[in-house]
Structure 1
């Protein structure tokens, strides 16, 4: 169980105050202690996940994720980690963030979106859909479920917690790996391939995601524009 210094206290950023994640964490731990300047993001395309102290998670998205956490608190068994996906970003960028709620440390991964959300394959998610047969990504809060073995090997089920993603189970929207989500696809094509609405990762990233985000965690997905 988290206290005031947990996720509810951590995810208080708003567009108005403009605080970075590092500033929020520093304020929680040290009473608004000074924060080191942010480092520029590396230009290379790494095969491994990036571990960041102060990632570029938009504060407005943090606020939405906090609201989703608060609304579903009784259903979220594991609160030490929260995942936030910023689908405002293109698929060539790390946009799936795993946030350690007690420390503020973040690991980021590439993740593919559904082809129904990007029909022209621009690399940008254009729209969400919760409809059957849409092959689109759905926005909103998800609860991670059981592991299973399927078409793409070891995978993880998801349950949609909102009206805009409550067909996730029926649509078989899950977390899995895929060849089209490997970093080499970005190197060769400048973007990832597309899923049928699932959160698709590289094989290496999936191992980290499944190891850390077991059943009972929150994944929040949205875009800002």
Structure 2
């Protein structure tokens, strides 16, 4: 069979049209705009300011300053820095002169304590002399490390002390401790107008001793000064 020239042309046109519609062009690619992340924000560091130390100003500033210096000087023997204890022998024995200083919260609690009879031979209520000598019955000044609660055959419950300076380094040999005593109780003070005298120990009221035995522990500073 012979195809006319017209048939060949029409047939070829149909084939071209079929190819054109069989593979349409791909749709255009759209690229979404990318929003950059916001720059990081930095918050200023919050500075924690500790409460003021001794806001009631119960302790002489000089005594407080010397005690803080002693904490650094004897840091190897004083690992516990949450509180410390001070004794102000410039004050009358009937006054509160034994201080527990909260080094974190700043609060100061005041108690009473006796001094040695050798430090006040006239029993005036004021300690005038201080010694580290055995049998002197005098109080000793300087930095001590608390050595934990104990019990003695004569004084009963107590807190042991280790002297850290030349002025009190015989405290263990002299049995200088913290213990309760009748002559340091409020009834004695009300009757006599002053506390009685110890043999050099830091005697306290019987009602105050349990708290001190629990809180002084082992490795805190007791600093006594005149």
Deviation at 1:186, TM superposition (A): 1.1
Matches within 5 A, 1:68-107: 68-107=70-109
Normalised by the length of structure 1, the TM-score is: 0.75
- Superposed CA deviations along residues 25-49 of structure 1, whole A, max 9, x for unmatched, are xx9437x9xxxxxxxxxxxxxxxxx
2:143 to 113, 127, 141: 141
Do the aligned partners of residues 75 and 110 (structure 1) sit closer, same or farther apart at CA in structure 2, a change above 3 Å counting?
A: same
2:111 to 95, 109, 112: 109
Q: Does the 8 Å CA contact 2:148/2:213 hold for their aligned counterparts?
A: no
SS of 2:94's equivalent in the other structure is coil
User: Which has the higher Rg, Structure 1 or Structure 2?
Assistant: 2
Number of residue-to-residue matches in the alignment: 177
SS of 2:219's equivalent in the other structure is coil
- Superposed CA deviations along residues 72-129 of structure 1, whole A, max 9, x for unmatched, are 0111121101001111001100000000001111111110000010000000111111
Q: Does structure 1 residue 203 correspond to structure 2 residue 224?
A: no
Matches within 5 A, 1:214-225: 214-223=217-226
For the aligned residue pairs, the C-alpha RMSD in angstroms reads 1.6
Q: For 2:50 and 2:150, locate their aligned partners in 1 and report how far apart those are by CA, in whole Å.
A: 38
Q: Structure 2 regions of 5+ residues with no counterpart?
A: 1-47
Q: Structure 1 regions of 5+ residues with no counterpart?
A: 1-26, 33-51
Normalised by the length of structure 2, the TM-score is: 0.75
Superposed structure 1 runs of 4+ greater than 6 Å apart: none
- Superposed CA deviations along residues 3-28 of structure 1, whole A, max 9, x for unmatched, are xxxxxxxxxxxxxxxxxxxxxxxx94
Deviation at 1:54, TM superposition (A): 1.1
Moved more, 54-63 or 129-138: 54-63
